[in-house]
């Protein structure tokens, strides 16, 4: 399942977000040696604000093993505001598209590749809901090559450009369209819904995430779409909150 963590329900994910920032520190700062801001043993940047949405992959115990940040790019963007030299032409002109978002800091530590499929499909499905039309990113060449092989039809926005820490990155745009979702779902054979967003006002919102995760996983086996998934999981979790089921 992919948990949609927004400013509204972020308090429910305090431990998972702490883990995510810690993993980002270990990977991007200590392993890749990127020059980034570190505090409280975690890596943070200007994009980690109230407008950030984290798509989180949790294991059965509720621990976060995968994450990616998506965020509207109209007021802040790594590509446009920090790395504009990776874009051929005027990077600011990208903002003429009101549906411009950006993804960054993708991590999937030891995750099953199925979880990555969920991220590749779920990210587009979520951004479609938010009326996005394209999503910027700045992957390393190896990552971009891999993403192309597994079905993300990324469009390059400039040349592969070396960065000071030693890699070569390419600014890209991922088209956000229903056709892309269909293509990926056909490619992978995945028909199950896997996006879930916890309503913090739900009576069961305070249950442990491991219980919520399990309820959604079970519901996903029978649900035909996201609405059914939410309804079935809600019903089960209301029972759980009342102590009627384990």
Partner 1 sequence: MVSVAASEFLTTATRCETAEALHASLLTFAQALGFHSAMFVNLANAGGPVLPKVLLGDLDPWIDYYTEQNFARLDPTVPMAFRSRTPFTWRSVERPDAPRPVREFFGEARDGWADEGLIVPIHGPFGEFSVVNLLCDEPIKLSKPEIGIIQAACQLYASLGLTLATGALPLPLDNLPALTKRELQCLFWMCVGKHDVETGRILGISAHTVRGYIDSIKVKLGVETRPELSIRAQASGLLVPDRHGMF
Contacts to partner 1 by CB under 8 A: 22-23, 26-28, 31-32, 59, 63, 65-66, 68, 88, 104-114, 116-117, 137-151, 153-162, 168-170, 172, 187-189
CA 127 to chain centre: 10
Q: Which of 139, 126, 132, 32 is nearest to 78 (CA)?
A: 139
Q: Which is nearer to partner 1, 143 or 202 (CB)?
A: 143
Shortest distance (Å) from residue 217 CB to partner 1 = 14
Q: Which is nearer to partner 1, 7 or 145 (CB)?
A: 145
Q: Which is nearer to partner 1, 24 or 236 (CB)?
A: 24
Shortest distance (Å) from residue 50 CB to partner 1 = 23
- On whether the CB atoms of residues 34 and 104 are closer than 8 A, the answer is no
Shortest distance (Å) from residue 245 CB to partner 1 = 26
d(CA 202, CA 215): 14
Shortest distance (Å) from residue 145 CB to partner 1 = 4
Q: Which is nearer to partner 1, 53 or 237 (CB)?
A: 53
d(CA 166, CA 161): 10
């Amino acid at each position: 399942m992919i948990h949609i963590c927004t400013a509204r329900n972020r308090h429910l994910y305090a431990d998972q977000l702490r883990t995510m920032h810690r993993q980002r520190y270990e990977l991007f700062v200590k392993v890749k040696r990127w020059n980034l801001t570190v505090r409280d043993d975690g890596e943070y940047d200007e994009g980690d604000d109230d407008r950030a949405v984290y798509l989180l992959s949790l294991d059965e115990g509720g621990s976060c093993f995968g994450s990616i940040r998506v965020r509207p790019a109209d007021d802040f963007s790594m590509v446009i505001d920090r790395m504009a030299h990776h874009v051929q032409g005027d990077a600011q002109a990208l903002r003429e598209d009101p549906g411009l978002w950006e993804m960054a800091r993708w991590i999937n530590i030891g995750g099953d590749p199925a979880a990555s499929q969920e991220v590749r499909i779920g990210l587009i499905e979520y951004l479609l809901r938010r009326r996005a039309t394209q999503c910027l990113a700045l992957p390393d060449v190896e990552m971009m090559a891999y993403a192309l092989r597994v079905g993300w039809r990324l469009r390059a926005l400039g040349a592969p450009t070396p960065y000071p820490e030693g890699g070569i990155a390419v600014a890209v745009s991922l088209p956000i369209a229903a056709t892309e979702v269909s293509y990926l779902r056909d490619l992978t054979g995945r028909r199950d819904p896997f996006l879930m967003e916890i309503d913090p006002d739900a009576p069961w919102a305070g249950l442990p995430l491991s219980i919520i995760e399990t309820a959604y996983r079970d519901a996903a086996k029978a649900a035909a779409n996201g609405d059914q998934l939410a309804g079935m999981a809600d019903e089960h979790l209301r029972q759980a909150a009342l102590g009627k089921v384990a």
